[in-house]
Amino acid sequence: MKNVTFFAALCLLTCACAHENARDKNIIELPITFESGFGPFGWNYGFLNPLHSPDNPRATPWNKMYVPLKGIPKEWKSVVKSNIWLDSYQLLYQNYHEGKVDSATFQQLVKSWEWTPDENRLSKLPIRCDVYVVRGMDKSGKIAVMIDTNNDRDFSDEKPFYPEHAVRGDSLKYYENTHRIEYDILRNRRIAVTSIRLIVKYLPNEPAGLQFWYTFPQYAKTNLIHKQKSHPIAINTGFSSPWSEFSELTLPENLFPKQIIQNGQGIPTGSFFKVDDITYKNLGVDLQQNVLRLERKSVEESTDLNQVGSFIKSFSTKDFMTNETISSHDYKGKYLFIDFWGPWCQPCVAELPELKKLYSKLDTNRIRFISIAGLEKPARLKQFLLKAPIEWPQILSDNENKLVEKYHIFVYPSNILVGPDGKIIGKNIHGKQLEALLKNKNVFNYDHVENRNHSSLLLK
């Protein structure tokens, strides 16, 4: 991403530290630069799903937004076309103004996405804000992939390749080959051309339909000057999309376990800065200006940030499957792992088998799991759980309990680990890091690990 990185580097040269926002002196903007790879964050991939078929009623309005593709090799068999959204808001906005999305559907999506369109930051004219990928069986009988790297909807000028084979696990953080994708962004109300690296991997051991994964291995960096000391900040804007208004922050200097600060949450000053008077609230990344926005607040003003070290906000609601009452007070004296997910969230579903395997090793007298599903309809959640039961309690965040809003969940999957005293001791800890932390807390049932059944939760 040469031009974006150059722009951000130029900002760093001209603005050695954060500058004050003219409208609010407590809002600071930190210029960011981009780095290749996943940095201090865990790997995250999306599934390379086929395009919806025109006769699928659930595909409306998405199938109206697809464009014709040319140049796909005629000798390929079993061709599958996929579309990756690079900027979902812009894609919906421009298709609405092109008449491909009707007003009722557009307003419904605006409401469900909790999004307020800003015409100063969006283009009514169509820009290249998505990319197409095709795969099929070539003459040799191997599955080949082509990416529309120049984004002209024509594959005749692209070279097919065989994707790297992989298996689920930490090895997904490593890769050999990337493909540079060209696309458009809006900056200062003008269309600019930029690019980003894309990885496609083939996981043959996964169930059919979940074997092709993609990611954009890129994260951002900046520095926050506090008390005359520079604190590096790493920023994840979403590896499954290069353009996201949400961001996860972490400070690499922080000790294990790594703490993730999501949008709307505050950097815990006691952990990082060794002071207790000021905290900084993550307002997200502005990718049009290439800055991270933070709000400087006193700790007294930040009691609702739900951060590590604070007491978990209490709740009392119903188990989705049994309708029994579940209260946070039921888990007093035990560790509690809260997983925020949804059947619609592909990385969440991909993470379930490892969580199930981990749960089977734990002593439930010392730790409990619960899952809270967000942005999901009851019927779809029930259908998923009936096909792929999950051993621990399930809760649906709805308009009554509003648990997703209460815990400021903006990114999925997310999780919170609560200690026996009710204080949050970890957030957004996944995979081997979560297992290592729980081993450190001595909550494994070592006497019965070998006799417990390890079942997969992926839908067949």
Show the CA angle centred on residue 311, arms to residues 305 and 317, nearest 5°.
95
In the chain, the domains with their CATH numbers are 2-37+218-302 (no CATH), 46-213 (no CATH), 316-451 (3.40.30.10)
pLDDT at 325 over 80: yes
pLDDT (0 to 100) of residue 213 = 95
Q: Look up residue 98 and give its DSSP letter.
A: T
CA distance 326 to 329: 9
CA distance 216 to 196: 7
Based on its alpha-carbon atoms, the radius of gyration of the chain, rounded to whole angstroms, reads 23
Q: What confidence tens digit (pLDDT) does each residue in 27-38 have?
A: 999 999 999 999
Over the chain, what is the mean pLDDT? Answer: 83
Question: CB-based burial of residue 187 (10 Å sphere; 0-12 exposed, 13-18 middle, 19+ buried)?
Answer: middle
Q: What is the mean pLDDT of residues 142-146?
A: 97
- Plot region of 2 (φ>0 → left; ψ -120 to 50 → alpha; else → beta): alpha
pLDDT (0 to 100) of residue 308 = 80
Q: Is the peptide bond before 232 cis (omega within 30 degrees of 0)?
A: no
pLDDT at 384 over 70: yes
pLDDT (0 to 100) of residue 408 = 77
Pairing of strands 190-202, 164-165: parallel
pLDDT at 73 over 50: yes
CA distance 83 to 173: 23
CA distance 44 to 236: 10
Share of the chain above pLDDT 70, in %: 83
CA distance 425 to 253: 17
CA distance 300 to 276: 10
Q: What confidence tens digit (pLDDT) does each residue in 253-289 have?
A: 654 445 677 777 766 554 444 344 577 888 888 888 8
* DSSP secondary structure of 17-53: S-EEETTEEEEEEEE-EEEES-TTSPP--EE-PPPPP
pLDDT (0 to 100) of residue 264 = 72
- Greatest distance between any 2 Cα atoms in the chain: 67
CA distance 279 to 446: 41
Is-contact 371 341, C-beta < 8 A?
yes
Give the pTM.
Answer: 0.64
If DSSP states are collapsed to H, E and C, what string results for 318-359?
A: ECCCCCCEEEHHHHCCCEEEEEEECCCCHHHHHHHHHHHHHH
pLDDT (0 to 100) of residue 446 = 59
The one-letter code for the residue type at 70 is: K
Handedness of CA 119, 120, 125, 131 (dihedral sign): negative
Token pair for 168: 């689920």
| 97 band by pLDDT with thresholds 50, 70 and 90 | very high
Is-contact 346 434, C-beta < 8 A?
no
Q: Is 97 helix (H, G, I), strand (E, B) or coil?
A: helix
CA distance 415 to 434: 10
Highest mean pLDDT among 52-66, 399-413, 418-432: 418-432
CA distance 195 to 5: 11
Higher pLDDT, 417 or 238: 417
Strand partners, 295: 27, 281
Share of the chain above pLDDT 90, in %: 50
* DSSP secondary structure of 353-396: HHHHHHHTTB-TTTEEEEEEE-S--HHHHHHHHHHS--SS-EEE
pLDDT at 292 over 90: yes
Q: What confidence tens digit (pLDDT) does each residue in 189-236 have?
A: 889 999 999 999 999 999 888 899 999 999 999 998 877 788 889 998
Pairing of strands 414-418, 367-373: unpaired
| 399 band by pLDDT with thresholds 50, 70 and 90 | confident
The one-letter code for the residue type at 396 is: L
pLDDT (0 to 100) of residue 248 = 80
Least confident of 15-29, 152-166, 377-391: 15-29
